Structure 1
Amino acid sequence: MTDIQDSKNTTQEQAVQHRIKSFVVRAGRMTEGQIRAIETLGPRFMVNVEDLQPLDLDAIFGRSAPVVVEIGFGMGVSFVQMAKDNPDCNYLGIEVHPPGVGSCLKLIDENQLTNVRIIQHDAFDVITKCLKPESVDILQIFFPDPWPKKRHVKRRLINDEFVQLVRPLFKHGGQFRMATDWEDYANQMLDVMTRAEGYTNTSLDGTFIPRPEYRPVTKFESRGQRLGHGVWDLVFKRD
C-alpha cells in the first residue's frame, strides 16, 4: 500500500469516528418535469454508486479530460453553465436533494451537454469510497449550508478533518475552490485552509481572491448583491 493510500485510510477512519452530517435531506416538492427528467435522463447522466466501488471516470465520461467535481450544486444552474463554458472538462456533480437533481438533468438536456454526470448520494461516501486518489483536477464547494446558529456550527462542511479527507483526491496542483456569502463561515474556511497541511493559498495577500470569472452569478447571488451582502471566494492548490 502506498503512503498516499495509508494517509487516506487513516484520515477516513478519523472522519468516520467523528462524522457529523453537514446536510439535511429536505422533503421539497418535485415538479412533474423534475420527476420526468430523473426517469428519462437519469439512466444516461446519473452514476449509480450504491455498491460504493471506485469509479473509472474515463469510462463514465467516455473520454479522458480534466475532472471538475462539485459538491452540492443545488438546482444546477451555475454548475451546468460552467460545464457549458468549459466543454474540454468533465463535470461530476454530487447532490442529495431530488428536486435539484431533476432540475439539473433538465438543464443538461436543454443545453445538449455531454460532459456532465450526476451522483445522487451522500458526498462523504463518494469521497471516501468512489473517487480514486489523484483523480480530481478541481473540487468546488459553492455556498454550502452555513449552519448559522452557534450550536450548529459543528455541522459545517469545511473543517479540518474534511479538507484532509479530500486532499488525496487532487492531482498535484489541483484546485480547491470555495465560496460563501456568510462572512463568519468565510473566515472559518480561511482559517481551516491556512493551517491545513498540503495546501497553498492562491491569493496574493494570503486571504480571499477577487470574484472569479469562472463562477457564474446566480439569481440568489444577484439578489444578495442588491441587498448589500458580500461574497467571499477562496482557491487553494494542493502542493
Structure 2
Amino acid sequence: MYRLLLIISVCLLSVTVRGQDTYFYGYVKDSITELPIQDVHVSTGNEDTSDYTNIHGLFVIKAHEGDTLTLLRVGYFSQKIALKGTILSDTLHITMVPKTHELESVTVSSYSYEDYQADSVDRIRYFEQAIGYAKPLFDNANTGAGIGISLERIFSHRQQNKKRALRLFQEVEEEKYVDFRFNPIIVHSYTGLKGDSLQQFMNKYRPSYKWLRNHTRQVDLLYYINGKLKKYFKR
C-alpha cells in the first residue's frame, strides 16, 4: 500500500514539475546586418504560448524545459531552438538567416513586393475589424501605401475617432513601404555597414515615402544610398 502511494506521489510530482511554466526571454537578430528583427513569430506549437518580437527584436514566451521554440518570419529561414541545457540560464540570443538573392550586383531580401502587399492586406483587414466598419474602406487601386484607401467613405461620417484612426493607419502604411524599400539588407550590401553603424546610417538618411514613390527603380535607390554614404564617411 505504501509502495503504491509512493509511486502515485512520484508520478504526480513529475506531472507538476513538467507542468510548471517558465517565462523565457529572447533576442533575435539578422545574421547579415546584425540588427534586431521585428515581427518574428515565436511559438511552442501551442497558440496560447506564442509571441512576436518587437522593434528591438525581443520576445517573451511561457514554456518549460524540453519544449522546442519555432521562429518564423517572411524572408527568413525558419529556426528551431530546444529549451534545454545551458541556454536556459540567460536571455536566448538567436540569429536568423535571411533568404536573399542578387539584383543589380546587390544582395537584397527575398521579402518581395507580393509579400509586402499580402502583409498590407492583412493590416487593412485588421484595421477594418478594429474600427468596426461594415463596408470596405479600401479599393483595389494601388494609389499609395499598400492598397488604395477610399477616403470619401470614411470622411462622409462624423465619427472623428475613426477619421483619426484612418490617418494613423495611412501613416503606418507609408512607414511600412519605406521599410520595405529601404531595408537593412540592401543598405548593408551596398555600404558594408552593420550593427550600430548601419542603424545610425539608416536612421539619419531614411528617405521619405514621397521620394520613394517618385523614384521606384532600384537604381534610383542605389544612387541615393551612394550619395548619403559619401556624406556619412566625410563626416
Give the TM-score taking structure 2 as reference length. 0.26
The answer to which structure has the higher helix fraction is 2
Give the TM-score taking structure 1 as reference length. 0.26
